[in-house]
Chains A and B, each alone.
Chain A
Amino acid sequence: MSGVRPSPGQERFLALAARLRLDRRHPEVLERTGGWTRLPLLTRIAFFVLGNFAASLTVGIFALVHLDGSFFLAGLVLLGIAEWLILGRRLFGTGIEEALEVAGVLLVVFQFIDGRGDPEFVRGAAFVAGALLYSGLRLLNPLFTTLGTLALVFVVGVRLGHGRPVDEALACAATCYALGAIALVLGRRTFARPAYDAMLDWLVVVMPVAGFVWVEGHLPTSLTLATLRNTGVREVAVLLVPAAFGIATLLAGLRRRRHAPLVACLAAILCIGYELRNLTGLPIEFRLILWGALALAVTLVLDRWLRTPRAGVTSLPTAKRSTVAALTELVAAGSMSPAAAGGEGKFAGGGGTYGGGGASGNL
C-alpha cells in the first residue's frame, strides 16, 4: 500500500512533522515519512484553486477541438497526471493532485451520465457521490468524503421520499443526523490513520448542520412562545434533535479532548438560536443585540473561568496560531469596519457607505 499512498505509519509521521513544523528534508524525517510531501493549509488551498483552474481549462481545450467524449478524455488525462504526481512525485495532501484527481473522476462520471442519456437527476447524483467518495478515500481527503456523503444522503432521501418533497427532506435530515451520530460514536475508536479521524470529524460537524438546513428548507418552523404551548412532535423534534446533538458533542469533545465535537456543539447552538429566532417576538435588531450580548457574556465568563485550567481544559492557547487562522481573524475584524462591508464604491471626497458597524452618513 505504501507505493499507492502513505502507509499509516508514514501518514502519522507526516502529521507529526506538520504539527511540530519539522524540516521534512531532514534524513530522519525523510526515512519515516517515506519521502511523501504534504503542504501547509494556505499553500494547499492555492494549489487546489490553481489545479481546478487547470482542470477546467483542460476540459475546455478538449471541448474546443470537438473531440468525441471530451469529458472522458480530459478526465483520463487529468487522472493520469494526478496519479503520476502521487505515485511518481509522492505528493499527498498538496492540493494540486487532489484538484486534478477529483476533477478527473468527476469528468469521467459526467461523460458516463451524459452518454447514457439518463434523464433522472438522482442517478446522476449517485454517480457524483460515488466519484467523490472514491476520490476522498483514494486521497484520504475529508472534504471529498463529506461532499460525497452529502450527495449520497440526497440520493437516499429522494428514494425514501417517493417524490414528496417534504418526505424527501425529512428522510435526508434523518439520514444526516444518523450519520452524524454514527460518526460521533465511531470517533471513540482508535484509528491508525489520522485521516480517518479527520473524515469522521468533518461528518460530525457537517452532517447535523446539513440535516437542520434540509428540514428548515422545506419545513420552516420558527418556534414562538405561543406555538411552543400547542406544538406538535415535528416542531419539538426540530429543536430537540440539535439540542441533544449539541449536548452529546459537548460531552464527547471534552471527554476525548477533541475540537471537532466542540465545533459541532457550536454549530448546534447556532441552529437552536436560529430555530428560536421568533421566540420573543422582538424585532430582529433587538434579537441580535440581546442574543449577541448573552453569548458574549457567557463566552467572557468561560474565558475568564478557564484561564485557570479546569481538569486540563484552558482558554489559553497551547500552540502558535496558524497563519490562516490569524489572517482570517484580522480580515473578519476589518470587514466589520465602517463601509468595508460593501456598497456603491463611489468616491467623492471620501467614499463610505453604510455597512458593518456603520459609520457613514449615507444611512
Chain B
Amino acid sequence: MHSLEAECRELEAAGLIDRARAEDFLAVERGTVFSVSEELRFALYASVAGITAGIGLLVKANIARLDAVSLALVLALIAALCYASAIRTRLLGRERRLGGDYVLLLGALVLSADVGYVESQWHWLGANWSWQLIALAVFHGTVAYLLDSRLVLSVALGALAGWFGVHANPGSLLMGESALRESGLHALACASVVLLLRIGHPRIAPLRNFIPVYEHFAANVAFWGALALCFDAGTRAAGLAVLIALTTVSIRRGLATKEESFAVYGIGYGTLGLCVVQSAFIGEPLVAAVFDLAVVVLAVAMLWRLHHRLRDGEG
C-alpha cells in the first residue's frame, strides 16, 4: 500500500493545488472516505444483465407453453414498478441515486422484452413488426428526457440502431459485399438521425447532460458505416471520402471540446480504413506492409501531437 500524502502536501505548499482540493484528496488517501460506487455499479449492471437475459430466455424458450396474457401482464407489471420507483423519486423532488438509475434501466429493458413478446404473440403490426423498435426508441427517449437518465437514452439509441439494422457485432464486417453496403448505408443513416437529435437537444432540454451520449454514439456508428463501405468494392471510394470527412470532423470536435476520445476515434478508425482501402489497390504484400506501417507511424505521430494540443492548451 502506498500513500501519496507527503507528495500532496508538497504540491499544496508549492501552490499547485489549493487547500480544499488537497484536503479532499488526503481524505481519500488516508481512507477517511472510501467510495464503493464503482463496485456497486458493477454489481448493479451484472444483476440487471442477469435478470434481462433470464427474461429473454424465459420468453424465447417457453413461448408456446406459457399463458401469453399472464406473461405479458407480469412483465408489464415489473416494468411499471421500476418506472413507478423513478417517477416517485422525481415527484418527491429527490435526486435519483445509483441504484435508482439501474432500476429504471431494468424497467426499460423489461418493457422492451414485453413489447417484443406481445408482438410475437398477437402480430399487431404484422409485416411491419420492426416498427415496434421505433416505438420503443421514442418511448425510451421520452422517458430518458422526463426522468433524466443517460442509461435509458442509451437503450433508446440502441433500439433506434436496431431498427436501422445496426448491430454491435464486429463480425458484421465479414458479411458479403451487398450486405456490407446495406449495413454501411444504414449505419450512416442511423448516425445522421442521432446527429439531428443531438442538434435538437439544446432546444428540448439544455440542462440534461445528454450531448456526449449522442456524440459518442453517432461517431462510432458513423465510423462503423464508413468502414463497411470501404470493405465493399462498389462503395470503396465513397466510403473513403466519408471516412476522411468523419476523421476530420471527429478530430476537430475533439480539439474544440478537449475530448481526447474523439481524436482517438478519428485516428483509430481512419488508420483502419486506410489500411483496408490500400489492400484493394496494392497487390504486392511487401509494398502493402510498408504502406500500412507508414500509415500506422503517421497515425502514432498525429495522435501524439493531438494529445499534446489537447492536454497543454495549444489548440
**Contacts from A to B (Cβ < 8 Å):** 12-13, 15-16, 19-20, 22-26, 28-29, 32, 39-40, 42-43, 46-47, 49-51, 53-54, 57-58, 60-61, 64-65, 96, 187-194, 196-197, 254, 256-259, 262-263, 266, 270, 283-293, 295-296, 298-300, 302-304, 306-307, 309, 312-319, 323, 325-327, 329-343, 345-363
CB-based contact A50/B303 at 8 Å: yes
Q: In whole angstroms, how far apart are the Cα atoms of A323 and B265 in the complex? A: 13
CB-based contact B37/A316 at 8 Å: yes
**Contacts from B to A (Cβ < 8 Å):** 1-4, 7-8, 10-11, 14-17, 21, 24-25, 27-28, 31-63, 97-99, 102-103, 105-106, 108-110, 112-113, 115-117, 119-120, 123, 125, 127-134, 136, 150-152, 154-159, 161-169, 171-172, 175, 179, 182-183, 186, 212-213, 216-217, 259-261, 264, 267-268, 271, 285-286, 289-290, 292-293, 296-297, 299-300, 303, 307, 311-313
B152–chain A nearest beta-carbon distance, Å: 8
CB-based contact B1/A258 at 8 Å: yes
CB-based contact B179/A337 at 8 Å: no
Q: In whole angstroms, how far apart are the Cα atoms of A28 and B13 in the complex? A: 11
Q: Given A315-B40, A330-B213, A340–B158 Cβ distance below 8 Å?
A: yes
- Cβ–Cβ < 8 Å partners of B45 in chain A: 329, 332-333
CB-based contact A359/B261 at 8 Å: no
Chain B contact residues, majority secondary structure = helix
Q: In whole angstroms, how far apart are the Cα atoms of A351 and B7 in the complex? A: 56
Question: Of the candidates B1, B24, B25, which one forms a contact with A189 in the assembled complex, judged by CB atoms under 8 Å apart?
Answer: B1
Q: Given A40-B260, A288-B50, A345-B165, A16–B7 Cβ distance below 8 Å?
A: yes
Whose C-beta in chain B lies nearest to the C-beta of A309? Answer: B33
- Cβ–Cβ < 8 Å partners of B39 in chain A: 259, 262-263, 266
Question: Of the candidates B16, B27, B58, B169, which one forms a contact with A286 in the assembled complex, judged by CB atoms under 8 Å apart?
Answer: B58
Question: Of the candidates B28, B43, B58, B163, which one forms a contact with A295 in the assembled complex, judged by CB atoms under 8 Å apart?
Answer: B43
B282–chain A nearest beta-carbon distance, Å: 13
Q: Given A64-B289, A313-B34, A351–B162 Cβ distance below 8 Å?
A: yes
Question: Of the candidates B168, B171, B175, B289, which one forms a contact with A341 in the assembled complex, judged by CB atoms under 8 Å apart?
Answer: B168
B174–chain A nearest beta-carbon distance, Å: 11
CB-based contact B133/A339 at 8 Å: yes
Q: In whole angstroms, how far apart are the Cα atoms of A323 and B166 in the complex? A: 24
Question: Of the candidates B17, B37, B51, B58, which one forms a contact with A296 in the assembled complex, judged by CB atoms under 8 Å apart?
Answer: B51
Further pairs besides A22-B16, A292-B50, A293-B51: 11, Cβ < 8 Å = A15-B4, A28-B16, A42-B260, A191-B2, A302-B40, A313-B34, A329-B45, A336-B158, A345-B165, A357-B155, A363-B116
B42–chain A nearest beta-carbon distance, Å: 6
CB-based contact A338/B33 at 8 Å: no
A58–chain B nearest beta-carbon distance, Å: 7
Q: How many pairs, one residue from A and one from B, have CB atoms within 8 Å of each other in the complex?
A: 394
CB-based contact B110/A357 at 8 Å: yes
Q: In whole angstroms, how far apart are the Cα atoms of A32 and B8 in the complex? A: 12
Whose C-beta in chain A lies nearest to the C-beta of B130? Answer: A350
Whose C-beta in chain A lies nearest to the C-beta of B30? Answer: A257
CB-based contact A358/B55 at 8 Å: yes
CB-based contact A28/B11 at 8 Å: yes
CB-based contact B36/A20 at 8 Å: no
Give 26 A-B contacts (CB < 8 Å), ordered by A residue. Answer: A12-B2, A20-B25, A39-B307, A50-B271, A194-B2, A262-B39, A263-B42, A285-B62, A292-B47, A296-B48, A315-B36, A316-B35, A317-B37, A333-B155, A334-B158, A337-B154, A338-B116, A338-B159, A338-B162, A339-B159, A339-B163, A347-B183, A350-B129, A350-B164, A351-B130, A359-B113
Q: In whole angstroms, how far apart are the Cα atoms of A195 and B186 in the complex? A: 46
B52–chain A nearest beta-carbon distance, Å: 5
Whose C-beta in chain B lies nearest to the C-beta of A322? Answer: B38
Question: Of the candidates A46, A64, A288, A309, which one forms a contact with B267 in the assembled complex, judged by CB atoms under 8 Å apart?
Answer: A46
Question: Of the candidates B1, B11, B152, B286, which one forms a contact with A191 in the assembled complex, judged by CB atoms under 8 Å apart?
Answer: B1
